Structure 1
Amino acid sequence: MIDKLWEFIATGCYSGKLPKMPGTWGSIFAAVLIYFFWPDNLLFQGVIVLLTFVLSVLSSHFYSLNLGVKDPDSVVIDEIIGMQIAMLGIKPSLSAVLFALVIFRIIDIMKPPPIKMFEKLPGGFGITVDDMVAGLYTNLLLRLLVWRNYV
């Protein structure tokens, strides 16, 4: 029973089990949630990120142990927290969320330095933290776009 709960959480309500590009599906799932439910209050956003962090580290760790795979493709809760950090402190307009989604996916796939080194952290931390840093990069770029009135 508990294994199924970790699977449900780690796979982003099973969005990571959709065919071909699980990370993108998980990021799209996060973008939809953010667009419709992201609070305006930065403190509430921070609480959501903190809770997601704890759930991400635990669920990805236990789910990957259960599968016997270090970083299963179907784990997408790390993409969800990455998208949350990408939108931290930014009003979730349709354009902002879409830009965040595209920028985050590019950064997450390319893994510019030092993102790749965070994957070497043990267990759920290694699965989660690299996407958090990708979310931070995305947030900074998105803020620049918002500041320049492109978004």
Structure 2
Amino acid sequence: MKKIWEFIATGFYSGKLPKMPGTWGSIVAAIFLYFFWPENIVYQLLIVAVTFVSSVVSSQSLSEQLDDKDPDSVVIDEIIGMEIAMLGIKATLPVVVAALVIFRIIDIMKPPPIKLFEKLPGGFGITVDDMFAGLYSNILLRLLIWRHYV
């Protein structure tokens, strides 16, 4: 079971690629979103819910295995962040690319109060800060779409 949780937590092992594991995980999410993101919001919310549970459990498991509070190789949290960035938004190529760029900037910068969520315990803390980065990204992406920049 540990190998399955590792596979999920590392975003299909994309988090084990050299340098920038969070970016690799976000790229995997962007590819998934472009090709498979449903237009129906109910299905989108179902995907986010499944990813949330998977993220909390798998990142907690790998964190314990590695004895590291927030291992760099855990990127399932970036995947859920990207899903939330695209929540309620049609996945066209320009929009997904914009979501990827915006999400990575916000995830790296961690504007307030996102950084506070990292202090939450275990897999929940690993996951929630990226969910809020996704929420910020969603708002900015909607503004760009509304202004017809993407």
TM-score (norm 1): 0.99
Match of 2:53 in 1: 54
Consecutive unaligned residues of structure 1, counting only runs of 5 or more, are none
Name the counterpart of 2:136. Answer: 137
Q: CA RMSD in A?
A: 0.3
Shift of 1:118: 0.1
Which residue number in structure 2 is paired with residue 107 of structure 1? 106
Q: How many Å separate the matches in 2 of 1:132 and 1:22?
A: 17
CA drift at 1:79: 0.0
Deviation at 1:23, TM superposition (A): 0.1
Q: How far is 1:140 from its partner?
A: 0.1
**Post-superposition shift, 1:62?**
0.7
Could you list the runs of 4 or more consecutive aligned residues of structure 1 that deviate by over 4 angstroms after TM superposition? none
How many angstroms apart in 2 are the aligned matches of 1:136 and 1:72? 23
- 2:16 paired residue number: 17
Identity of matched residues, %:
75
Match for residue 94 of structure 1?
93
Question: Secondary structure at the residue paired with 1:26?
Answer: helix
Alignment of 1:123-134 (within 5 A): 123-134=122-133
The answer as to 2:62 corresponding to 1:38 is no
Task: Count the aligned residue pairs.
Answer: 150
Paired residue for 1:71? 70
Task: Provide TM-score, normalisation by structure 2.
Answer: 0.99
